[in-house]
Amino acid sequence: MATLDGLTLGFLARELNGFLRGGRIDRISQPFHDMVVFNLYNRGESYRLLISASPECARIHLTQKFFENPLKAPMFLMLLRKHLLGGRILDIRQLNGDRILQIDIIARNELGDEGIKTLYFEAMGRYTNLTLVENGMILDAARRVSDHMSRVRTILPGLPFVMPPRQDKIAPEEATREALIEKLSGQTGKLESVLAASITGLSMQSARELSYRMAGKEGVLLSDLPLDELSENLSKLLLGRPSLHAPQLNTSESGDRLEALPFCYYTKRGFTEKPTDTLSQAVETAFDEGDRQTRHRQRTQSLARVIENAQKRAENRILAQEEELANAARMEEFRINGELLTAFGHLVEKGADRAELPDYYNENRLREIALDPSLSAAQNAQRYFKKYRKSNVARKMAAEQMELARKELNFCEEALYFLSQAQTEEELSALRSELQEAGFIKRTAKHRPVKKTKPAPMKFVSTGGFTILVGKNSTQNERLLRTSSPDDWWLHAKDIPGSHVIVKTDGKKADEQTLLEAAKLAGYYSKGKGQGVPVDATLRKHVRKITGGGPGAVTFTNNTLYIVDATEEEIKALKA
């Protein structure tokens, strides 16, 4: 994923200042725990400023996107609203050419007195943060840092805000000819490496570009250039860098890599260059998809942990109930012992710890029965009858609990499959809702309930012209069952998690090629991935919902079995 270096961040700060200085903060939202969006109004225009303190995708820029927010406002958001709503942006500036921006805001407190609050945005990899400060004291931060987490800097409410240690480098705005001569003297190696180690905020990519502009070629050594001339030219470039402002979005030849640059980099070969109106536009485009993928991956991993934990619990419950059933298998032995003691108790000696009695269930052969010597024969008989009743109840409960655990296990396997297929936030939210309904995730105000929309299933058309619908999750599977007609065809991969497939017949007879193509879809959209997958097919009227079996759990009759192989090309050809 692309990253913002200090050079690019400096251009962003100047651009944001041009749009937002003097702007009023009308609204603040926090769509994610590490992302804040400010709605501002300035000189007759509305703007949205996005600040992401995600370690994987730190960024700040104007945005055109809208985000869904949590139902309950996080504490950090409440604090920002308390201190900053109605305030005006005084200044946005970069500090020491590094990856730190200082945003000064003048706002009124609860008593109506004006004061200056400062937001510090640090785009420092895993140390990335957004901190609200007043009079040098921390009010709060997007990511609190305790002394157990860092021995260098603690970021907690009520503590003084301490800037990160300054590196032994020259800030671009301080890069005079004399300062550069002093800094570069005595150094050796490639010019790009020396620049990256000597000037604040330069990534190797930017250092390589500056080196190329100084020498006219790549890979030049510092010793190859006159130090006075190099320092003079480099100083002019760094001090005059605002005039270079010409933002662009670079796309790699394969199209899988985007880069936002503040001006044209001559060293970027193999990229298509596209000028943008603002650097914010380029940054948003370059970062947005990577950020979406990162957050999608994080949500997927979080849901996977929930499902896997539920799966382990169900497996452990099955093992425990199997053990209970094994113990309950002796219940017939307890009943027979009780009956024989009742019938032949007069043959039992008082105080005996065992007795051999005729077993009329086994040709009157003698049966040895263990006894409690402190009890009479009748009392020992009642003890065995009590064990029998207890074992009988345990057997029934164990069977019921095992059946419930198996249903949960099937649900978990199905959920893990659909989680692996989920591509959108909507699909993840639907799956999360299913997990909440199943009781695997507690409902809290922190999570906004999934809207009661009904996202469409995947739609395909057979070569015979029949519409084929494929569910994306268990809830959609059940909805397909509920809305299909008795003469539609239903298909599902045999005995493995997968999508329900419905062939809409509209009263017509489906041809064999259509059913084969539907079977390929059922095999492809299953855990078997379409490779030698057995698929059951039957008319919808022969499919029955299993009572208490969870979403999409069915039983069926009159089925035909297909064994299918399906390729991605075949599936794409059927896509509606």
What is the 3 state secondary structure string of 512-527? HHHHHHHHHHHHHCEC
Out of 65-74, 179-188, 468-477, 553-562, least confident range = 65-74
pLDDT band at 2 (very low <50, low <70, confident <90, very high): low
One domain for residues 41 and 117: yes
CA 527 to chain centre: 21
In a domain, 309, yes or no: no
Is residue 316 classed exposed, middle or buried when 0-12, 13-18 and 19+ CB atoms within 10 A define those classes?
Answer: exposed
Q: Would 255 be classed as within a structural domain? A: no
Judge whether residue 427 has pLDDT over 90. Answer: no
> Looking at per-residue confidence, does 554 or 154 come out higher?
154
Mean pLDDT of 120-128: 93
For range 466-484, the mean pLDDT: 89
What is the Cα–Cα distance from 131 to 102, expressed in whole angstroms? 10
| Judgement on whether residues 484 and 394 belong to the same structural domain of the protein | no
Q: So what's the pLDDT on residue 549? A: 65
Q: Where are the alpha helices (DSSP H) in 85-226?
A: 177-184, 191-198, 204-215
Q: What is the pLDDT of residue 331?
A: 81
Beta-carbon neighbour count of residue 392 at 10 Å? 15
State the pLDDT at residue 260.
92
How big, in percent rounded to 5, are the helix, strand and coil portions of the chain? 40, 25, 35
Average pLDDT over residues 460-472: 93
**CB of 512 within 8 A of CB of 477?**
no
Domain boundary among 374, 395, 410: 410
| pLDDT at res. 475 | 82
Residues 108 and 183 in one domain: no
Are 55 and 125 in the same domain? yes
Task: Pick 247 or 399 by higher pLDDT.
Answer: 247
- Range of lowest pLDDT (6-10, 80-84, 403-407): 403-407
- Same domain, residue pair 11 and 134: yes
- Residue 451 scores a pLDDT above 60: no
Q: Which domain holds residue 196?
A: 172-245
208: in domain: yes
pLDDT of residue 330: 79
Tell me if 122 sits within 8 A of 153, measured CB to CB: no
How does residue 403 score in pLDDT terms, banded at 50, 70 and 90? confident
127 and 177 fall within a common domain: no
| In the predicted structure, residue 321 carries a pLDDT above the cut 90 | no
Distance of CA 574 to the CA centre of its chain: 30
pLDDT recorded at residue 446: 45
Quote the number of domains for the chain: 4
**At which of 351, 384, 410 does a domain end?**
410
pLDDT of residue 49: 97
**Which has more pLDDT, 454 or 417?**
417
Please indicate, yes or no, if residue 158 is contained in any of the structural domains.
no
- Give the model's pLDDT for residue 452: 47
305 in any annotated domain: no
Judge if 488 and 543 occupy the same domain. Answer: yes
Let me know if residue 420 belongs to a domain: no
Residue 75 lies in a domain: yes
**DSSP tag of 256:** -
Q: Are 505 and 466 in contact (CB under 8 A)?
A: yes
Task: Say if residue 396 is in the same domain as residue 463.
Answer: no
Task: Give the per-residue pLDDT at 417.
Answer: 85
Domain assignment present for residue 536? The answer is yes
Mean pLDDT on 366-389: 92
Question: Hey, CA dihedral for 184, 190, 191, 192, is it positive or negative?
Answer: negative
Q: Where are the alpha helices (DSSP H) in 150-278?
A: 177-184, 191-198, 204-215, 227-239
Q: How confident is the model at residue 450 (pLDDT cuts 50, 70, 90)?
A: very low
Residues 186 and 137 in one domain: no
Residue where a domain terminates, one of 394, 410, 426: 410
- From residue 364, alpha-carbon distances to 332, 341, 345 in Å are 17, 14, 15
Taking 60 as the threshold, does the pLDDT of residue 61 lie above it?
Answer: yes
